[in-house]
Structure 1
Amino acid sequence: MKWNLRLVAANRGIWKSSELRRLLAARGLEISTGKMSGMWSSTPAVLRPDELDVLCAVLDCGIAELIIAEPNTVAQPVAAQEHVRAVGDQGADAVRRIVPKPRTGRSLPPR
C-alpha cells in the first residue's frame, strides 16, 4: 500500500502538517503532534476508520486517493519443492528421521 496524504493535501493547498492538524481538530479529531508527524512523513502504523473518515472529509477526497493499492509489490508464494531446497534438504530421497536418545540413568529426588 502507498500512503498518499502529502500529495492529496498539497492538491488541496495544505502544505504543512500543523495546518492539517488544525483542520482535523476543527472537525473533532485531536491528533497528537507525534502521530501527525508520522502520518505526514510516512505510512501510519495504525489508522482507525473514524480517523480515516475525518481525513477524507477535511481533504474532500475518497479513501482510494489516500491509500493506493500496489499488488505488484507483494511477494509470490514459494513452491513447496523450492522451499525444501532453500532450507537445505538433500533431496526427495533423503528422509530425516528423529530418533530419541536413550537416557542412561535417573536423577535422584531432592533430599
Structure 2
Amino acid sequence: MAIELETSWHLRSIMASRGIFQTSKIGPLLSERGVQLSREQVYRLVTNAPQRVRIDVLTALCDALECSLDELITVKRRDAAPVREAVGETAQGPIGDLRPIRASIRRPSIER
C-alpha cells in the first residue's frame, strides 16, 4: 500500500495575520537575517507553494514572522487506496507461468 503526503504552504496567511500584505515587505526582513533573495524569488515564495526551500530561508521566515515550522508547513499523510488486480492476474503474470511461444516466419517453397 502506497502512502501519499500532502503538504500545505501557509506563508501568505501567516503574513496576513501579522499585518503584512505586500510581498516586498518580506525581502528586508529576510535580509536582516542574512538571506538575500531577489524580488522575483520572494514573490514566488509567497504566491506559490515551493517544491524546495533552503533551510536558512525557512528559519529566517519563521524568525521574521515569529511562527513555527509547523504553522508554516503542514503535512497530511494518507494511505493510498490499494491497487486492485485484474481477474486472472497473479504475481507471475497475466496467465501464471505460461509464456508465449516465439513466432517463426517460414517462406513457402517455390517450385520451378
Q: When the two structures are superposed, what TM-score results if normalisation uses the length of structure 2?
A: 0.70
Please name the residue that 1:64 is paired with.
70
Higher mean displacement: 26-35 or 48-57 = 26-35
Looking at structure 1, the residues matched to 67 and 95 of structure 2 have their Cα atoms a distance apart, in angstroms, of 58
Which has more radius of gyration? 2
Structure having greater relative contact order (Cα 8 Å, sep ≥ 6):
2
Extract structure 1 runs of 4+ deviating beyond 6 A.
none
Gaps of 5+ in 2: 1-6, 106-112
RMSD in angstroms over aligned alpha carbons? Answer: 2.5
User: Residue by residue, what CA displacement relative to the aligned partner does 1:16-49 show, whole Å, maximum 9, x if unpaired?
Assistant: 1110112111221111222212211121111011
> Which of 46, 59, 66 does residue 40 from structure 1 map onto?
46
Q: When the two structures are superposed, what TM-score results if normalisation uses the length of structure 1?
A: 0.71
Residue 75 (structure 1) shift = 5.2
Residue 77 (structure 1) shift = 4.0
Please name the residue that 1:107 is paired with.
none
Please name the residue that 2:88 is paired with.
91
| Structure 1 residues 95 and 11, CA gap change in structure 2 (3 angstroms) | same
Higher mean displacement: 46-55 or 30-39 = 30-39
Number of residues of Structure 1 aligned to a counterpart in Structure 2: 96
Looking at structure 2, the residues matched to 63 and 75 of structure 1 have their Cα atoms a distance apart, in angstroms, of 24
Q: Which has the higher strand share?
A: 2
Letter in 1 for 2:28: R
Residue 52 (structure 1) shift = 0.6
Looking at structure 2, the residues matched to 8 and 2 of structure 1 have their Cα atoms a distance apart, in angstroms, of 12
Letter in 1 for 2:88: G
